[in-house]
Amino acid sequence: MGDGHAPGRSEQEDRLGAEWETHRPAVFGVAYRLLGSVADAEDVAHDVWLRAAGSDLHEVDDLRAWLVTVAARRSYDILKSARSRRESYVGPWLPEPLLTGPDASEPVLVDESVGAAMLLIMEELSPPERVAFVLHDVFGFEFARIAEVLDVSVPAARQLASRARRRVAKAKQSPSPAPKAERERVLATFRAAYESGDLAGLVRLLHPDAVYVTDGGGKISAARKLIHGGERIAEVMVRVGRQWRPDHIDFAEVGGEPALVFRRQGRVFSVDTVQITDGLITAYRRVMNPDKLSRV
């Protein structure tokens, strides 16, 4: 889309330089939602910047849409190749923690679609379904543009988005997420019980059918299978807490959700998020893979 020597190059550079920081959260945001990886999303954003800097943008009316489209195409390519990597991943896979709120190092577009629960749901979609859903339902793109990204017909793009929407809705049939204040309260109570090794206190906070998911990626000792049951989870957590006693447990906002950041010996040991229903933790997700914690 241009050889880098188009007339009026300085005007284009001025425009891109002036607007890039405004549009970068959307570029990064679409990549993160599609890939579930901060590192990959940063790489995509860098690729998009280079592509834009080397292209003739004079006939581009909507620069944000153009940039997001380029990011979606690049992410789609990565997403297709990432399937084989996911299949060989050691243990459960969780999205890389994305710091938001006051902890974020840069502006990030935040909504339900960057939360761990939604990203895990979207992980079950096929790459085309995921792209169609994110571009249409999150970013409001028309199906004609989505069809171009996926190299399919407009009716096919519409069908992909519709199928994805049904699958997401089915997966979200559980009760609505707890209010932020309730999640913060439960996490604060949980932290106190964890720090004191209060087994009974942890059991009271965990739903009897709760699930505990740990992502170590084969890089650190972590459960490679899901652990079910509130009492069992509490026992494991107390044992792990005694073995790997953290120096600090801090509150943070990750993917728009309250989270706990465990630190040992000056390093982040894990980032934990929870799913809460009726005041009880129904899912506890712990990212321990050091490759996913370097940006926290």
Q: Kindly tell me if the per-residue pLDDT of 290 is higher than 90.
A: yes
pLDDT band at 49 (very low <50, low <70, confident <90, very high): very high
The mean pLDDT value for 146-163 works out to 97
For 59-79, how does the pLDDT look when each residue is reduced to its tens digit (9 = 90+)? 888 999 999 999 999 999 999
Which pLDDT does position 175 carry in this prediction? 67
Which pLDDT does position 196 carry in this prediction? 93
Instruction: Give this prediction's pTM.
Output: 0.88
* Other CB atoms within 10 A of residue 208 CB: 11
Q: Are 30 and 36 in contact (CB under 8 A)?
A: no
Q: Kindly tell me if the per-residue pLDDT of 205 is higher than 70.
A: yes
pLDDT > 90: what percent of the chain?
67
- What does the DSSP assignment read for 5-71? --TTHHHHHHHHHHHHHHHHHHHHHHHHHHH--HHHHHHHHHHHHHHHHTS--TT-S-HHHHHHHHH
pLDDT band at 1 (very low <50, low <70, confident <90, very high): very low
Which pLDDT does position 17 carry in this prediction? 75
Higher pLDDT, 289 or 175: 289
For 3-21, how does the pLDDT look when each residue is reduced to its tens digit (9 = 90+)? 444 445 566 666 677 788 8
Determine the Cα–Cα distance for residues 233 and 213; give it in Å rounded to an integer: 10
Which pLDDT does position 224 carry in this prediction? 86
Which pLDDT does position 5 carry in this prediction? 46
